[in-house]
Structures are given as structure tokens and as C-alpha cells.
Amino acid sequence: MALIQDHTQFFARIHIHGLTLEHGERKPITLERYISFPPPVMVEKCKSHTPTDIDLSPRALDPVFNLTARVRFESPKTTGKDVDSNPGNSLGYGRAGLVFPLDVLSISPSDDPHAADLMAQLPPLCIKVATPGYARSLAREAWFYEYLDAMGLTGVLAPRCYGVFHAALGTSRSKVAIGS
């Protein structure tokens, strides 16, 4: 079995169960892989480049796997005046987002010979969900992880497994909530 160093580079999308609620009912959500930190576009300073010149689409990955996972809520559900002390019963939280541990359910396509190796070697996973207005901050964080990885510091200063995945939440007609 070959040792896999950068696990998330194999995943084009992640299906997560138990993270979102819509109208009080749990709904799975699919996150698509995106580049970690798209550059800002300054049209007035660079007339030759327009926003359509920059590819912000998900990364092309080969082989392409899908990961299916379920959120594991670590803390007991909080009620009353202490609700704000642990929003969504997350593992951790801050200004930019909430962190939830994940239980990996499957990797597909399962008939690919690399899927079993990947499943056996996955480290414990968690998901950090950006709070409104902070998605770019989390993408910047992933960019720094990529830089530290290039310096050979993955697993020392930076996580062994990271990536930026994106999904739009909610529409004008529905309200989507994160948490338990």
C-alpha cells in the first residue's frame, strides 16, 4: 500500500450528512472543491485582465473521488442562556467559523483500487464552516497551509489534510441553519 501524503487532493466533492437543517429537517449538503485563494481582480490597475480571465472553478483532480461523511457533535446540546457559549454544539469556534468533527462513511467510486488505500490512511477529519462574510478568510488560511506544505512543514505546523470546498447555503425562499 503506497503512503498517501495529501489526502484531500483526491477529493473533488464532499457529501456531508447532519450539518445543515432546512425548515427543521436535516438535509445533506455537497461541497465542491475550489482553489484555495483566488487572487483579487483589480480591473482599473490591470486593463488586460478581466474577472472572466481568472478560472475560479473547482480544481480538476485525477483520480476524482467523492467523500461521504457525517458530522459528529462532540458536546451536549446547550439550552437556555448558555447557547452562545457553543454555537451549533461545535468542536471549536471563532470569528471566522465553526469546527465540527467528521465520521467518514465512504469514498466513491469504491471499485477504484486507490479508494481502499485512501480510506485506510485518512487521518481524523473535521470541517470548518465559515461564518457569513468570512469564507475568503478560511480560503486564505488554506493558502497558508499550502505554503507551509511546500516548505515541508505539513504535520508539524500545518494540518496533514486540508482543502477548500464550497457550497452556497440558502435561497431567498428558504433558511438553512448549521449545527445540531
**Where are the chain's structural domains?**
7-76+84-167
Q: What are the tens digits of pLDDT across the range 53-72? A: 555 554 445 557 899 999 98
Residue 107: predicted pLDDT: 92
Cα distances (Å, whole numbers) of residue 137 to 134, 140, 150, 170? 5, 5, 20, 20
Residue 39: predicted pLDDT: 53
pTM value? 0.70
In the predicted model, is pLDDT for residue 47 greater than 70?
no
CA distance 71 to 180: 9
Mean pLDDT, the chain, rounded, equals: 74
In the predicted model, is pLDDT for residue 173 greater than 70?
no
Residue 43: predicted pLDDT: 47
Q: What are the tens digits of pLDDT across the range 99-143? A: 889 999 999 988 888 888 888 888 888 888 888 888 888 888 888
With a pLDDT cut of 70, the percent of the chain lying above it is 61
Across 44-48, average pLDDT:
56
